[in-house]
Amino acid sequence: MTALVVQGLSKSFGGLRVTANVSLTVAPGERRLIIGPNGAGKTTLFNLITGNITPDSGSISLFGRDITRVPSHRRPHLGLARTYQIITLFPHDTILRNVTLALLGLLPLRWNPLVDLDRKEAIVARAREALARVGLDNIAERPLSQTSYGERRRVEIAMALAQNPKVLLLDEPYAGLSIDERQDVQKLLEKIPRDVTIVMIEHNMDVALDFADRITLLHFGEVIVEGTRAEVVADPRTREVYLGD
């Protein structure tokens, strides 16, 4: 059984090929790191996997199920969650409400126009629990607009974890963080149990090396190297991509 399989995925915008025949196989519980310089097509790959962008060709499957044609809003229901590189949270709401919305997204309750959401204590309690996992339960009631960048990054992760994903896509979770904040996030990610498969994008290779079981190097939309940590680091093509230009 595999967690995530991407096969021959391609996508062009205008004449520009942003994803070129990419294939990936991620095993259950694996920590996969996707690296590559800016513009390598890492975020596009995530957008293809989540269905925000439709591929020109190729297929994506999640635990053996072909999801290439599944509408993007159905994919979280199949166990796929993601965080964003550029933080996209709900600025007018509290941290707690942000996480509640993440939980609600997978529940039929989200269609209910008649009950008071704040009185649905079970779901609010679960949201608090998710916040406790990232150490933000003490400021749950704070409006998001009054939080720091590092706290928002943790809210992002709490929202993804709250959905109990089987496959979690992390898009540069360390971007823009101070060293302290980065260590907090790092500890947090290490605590995620192995029944969650994680694919992480990182622009800066050194930051996330220890975290990864296997590494895929993307360049101009193509897979250049794939292998274990040691293999990729030792590969001359990695040097070429990172130092060559």
Site mask for another protein (CB under 8 A), range 54-93, x = bound: -----------------xxxxxxx---xx-x---xxxxx-
Which of 113, 121, 138, 141 is the binder for another protein (CB under 8 A)? 113
**Could you tell me if 218 and 35 are in contact, meaning their C-beta atoms sit under 8 angstroms apart?**
yes
Nearer to another protein, 50 or 238 (CB): 50
Partners of 66 in the β-ladder: 61
CA distance 22 to 112: 41
| Longest distance between any two alpha carbons in the chain, whole Å | 61
CA distance 206 to 50: 26
**Could you tell me if 55 and 32 are in contact, meaning their C-beta atoms sit under 8 angstroms apart?**
no
**Could you tell me if 207 and 179 are in contact, meaning their C-beta atoms sit under 8 angstroms apart?**
no
Paired tokens of 139: 């400021």
Site mask for another protein (CB under 8 A), range 21-60, x = bound: -----------------------------x-x--------
Q: Which residues contact 219 (CB under 8 A, 6 or more apart)?
A: 36, 37, 40, 241
Q: Would you count residue 122 as binding another protein (CB under 8 A)?
A: no
Which of 17, 120, 133, 229 is the binder for another protein (CB under 8 A)? 120
Q: How far is the CB of 121 from another protein (least distance, A)?
A: 13
CB atoms within 10 A of CB 39: 13
Q: How far is the CB of 244 from another protein (least distance, A)?
A: 26
Q: How far is the CB of 245 from another protein (least distance, A)?
A: 22
Question: Exposed, middle or buried, 152 (CB in 10 Å: 0-12/13-18/19+)?
Answer: buried
CA distance 210 to 212: 6
Q: How far is the CB of 191 from another protein (least distance, A)?
A: 22
Q: Would you count residue 199 as binding another protein (CB under 8 A)?
A: no
Q: Which of residues 132-171 bind another protein (CB under 8 A)?
A: 159, 163
Hunting for tokens 């008649």 — which residue is that?
114
Q: Would you count residue 117 as binding another protein (CB under 8 A)?
A: yes
Q: Contact region for another protein (CB under 8 A) — 103-111, 191-199, 204-212, 217-225?
A: 103-111
Nearer to another protein, 99 or 207 (CB): 99
Q: Which residues bind another protein (CB under 8 A)?
A: 13-14, 50, 52, 71-77, 81-82, 84, 88-92, 97, 100-102, 104-106, 109-118, 120, 159, 163
